[in-house]
Amino acid sequence: MAQRCVCLLALAATLLLVFPTVSRSMGLKSKEHQRASRIPSQFSKEERVAMKEALKVFPTVVSTSFIQHEVVEEYSHLFTIQGSDPSLQPYLLMAHFDVVPAPEEGWEVPPFSALERDGVIYGRGTLDDKNSVMALLQALELLLIRKYIPQRSFFISLGHDEESSGTGAQKISALLQSRGVQLAFIVDKGGFILDDFIPNFKKPIALIAVSEKGSMNLMLQVNMTSGHSSAPPKETSIGILAAAISRLEQTPMPIIFGSGTVVTVLRQVANEMNVIPPVAQATVNFRIHPEQTVQEVVELTKNIVADNRVQFHVLSAFDPLPISPYDDKALGYQLLRQTVQSVFPEVNITVPVTSVGNTDSRFFTNLTTGIYRFYPIYIQPEDFKRIHGVNEKISVQAYETQVKFIFELIQNADTDQEPVSHLHKL
């Protein structure tokens, strides 16, 4: 979830002042670096054990005859697990193993060390989303070791660039489409279990995201070199732009706009400027509610700004995801509910929600109407800041529970029954 994180960035904005730029070529100087001294190839006992163990990670997954492993788009992985009953429609479990950058500053341990302290593993990706990649393969490995043979076929898709463009997932989606696959449902990361979420209600609740907000990066630009000679000299490009952003922020539309940051950034920069730039730009990131479209938000924004000196350029955009079914007959949703009930007996409320961020699953709408985003993990408010922030971590116990959840979910999916309404306890 790069700028597409579930938990971050309700509204992010950047400001860019455009000056006539001289492009200076930095010309990579490719000097050969000579090593001062060679590092001897001697390894400690622990390192040799680690080497041997690494060779044996998930050996059953990759050597089982009814599992096909394919590398897609060079780095993404697709596993096809052939079930024994071809009459059951297959499903897809997905995760991604790329992460956002993690500068060392502020971390209690080096961000890529995966150091364990007091039963907690720290490191970039421990919650987003290497935990899911490993838990999926681990759960499958543990099932296979126990001689499990699925009845219902399923796929595991592991994307390599979810945080940026999602090309891996797009290719996997295209590949499955080219093979004529239709999926019963998809489970990706997204919702989670929250404790103490509703005031005066002490029971934890499970949030299953059945839709995702859309997203748009809209660039607002004011160009005062382009024939606005009639503008009073006091009006600068940055002043006009600041006023436009301010109007957006003051609009009482919490569905579209977050609060705060844009105008602050603009003013700070404006105060520090001693040259007045002819062109000012601000890029505003919008999250688009499932009941609106990109086009509607653009029109709305133009109407609110109501200043024809401000130009609008959509840099990138996509519409919100359709809402997946969550009624008694929705197989994926009910399987998740059932598995929540067995793995987290203390959670007796499951709620469908809309995810603020986006995942690779958005490329799979041609394959199914049932896309669900759920982490079987308790998330505390401070964890939201850790995802894409410093000191991202997961407890060993939470990870084990995630493995257990997938282990149960895969077996629960072997049902040949329609979901039954007694699951529906609310």
Ligand X SMILES: *[C@@H]1O[C@H](CO)[C@@H](O)[C@H](O)[C@H]1NC(C)=O
Say how far apart CA 173 and CA 107 lie, in whole Å.
36
Q: Of these partners, ligand X, Zn ion, none, which one is at the site of residue 226 (CB under 5 to 8 Å by kind)?
A: ligand X
162 labelled catalytic: yes
Q: Which residue, 261 or 293, is less far from ligand X as judged by CB?
A: 293
CB of 388 to ligand X, least distance (A): 25
In the range 359-378, which residues lie near ligand X by CB under 6 A?
Answer: 363, 366
What is the rounded CA–CA span in Å between residue 279 and residue 93?
47
Stretch that binds ligand X, among 19-27, 154-162, 219-227, 387-395 (CB under 6 A): 219-227
What mask of x and - would describe binding to ligand X in positions 221 to 240, judged by CB under 6 A? --x-xx--------------
Q: Is 5 in the site for Zn ion (CB under 5 A)?
A: yes
Near Zn ion by CB under 5 A: residue from 73, 98, 128, 212: 128
The window from 2-10, 31-39, 56-64, 213-221 that contacts Zn ion (CB under 5 A) reads 2-10
Asked if 279 interacts with ligand X (CB under 6 A), we say yes
* 185 in contact with ligand X (CB under 6 A): no
In the bound complex, what is the minimum distance in angstroms from residue 388's beta carbon to Zn ion?
Answer: 6
Within residues 329-358, the interface with ligand X by CB under 6 A covers: 348
Of 34-42, 61-69, 120-128, 281-289, the segment contacting Zn ion by CB under 5 A is 120-128
Beta bridge partners of 67: 81
Q: Is 98 considered catalytic here?
A: yes
Q: Which is nearer to ligand X, 19 or 56 (CB)?
A: 19
Which CB sits closer to Zn ion, 283 or 358?
Answer: 358
Quickly tell me which residue has 């394919």 as its tokens.
70
Comparing CB distances to ligand X, the nearer of 363 and 372 is 363
Active-site residue, from 141, 162, 163, 212: 162
Task: Count residues near ligand X (CB under 6 A).
Answer: 13
> Are the CB atoms for 124 and 111 separated by under 8 Å?
yes
Q: Per CB under 6 A, does 313 bind ligand X?
A: no
Residues 141-180 that bind ligand X (CB under 6 A): 173-174
128 binds, among ligand X, Zn ion, none (CB under 5 to 8 A by kind): Zn ion
Which residue in the set 1, 172, 244, 377 belongs to the binding site for Zn ion (CB under 5 A)? Answer: 1
Residues of this chain, 62-91, that bind Zn ion according to CB under 5 A: none
Please list the active-site residues. 98, 162
What is the contact surface with ligand X in residues (CB under 6 A)?
18, 173-174, 203, 223, 225-226, 279, 348, 363, 366, 425-426
Q: Which residues bind Zn ion (CB under 5 A)?
A: 1, 5, 128
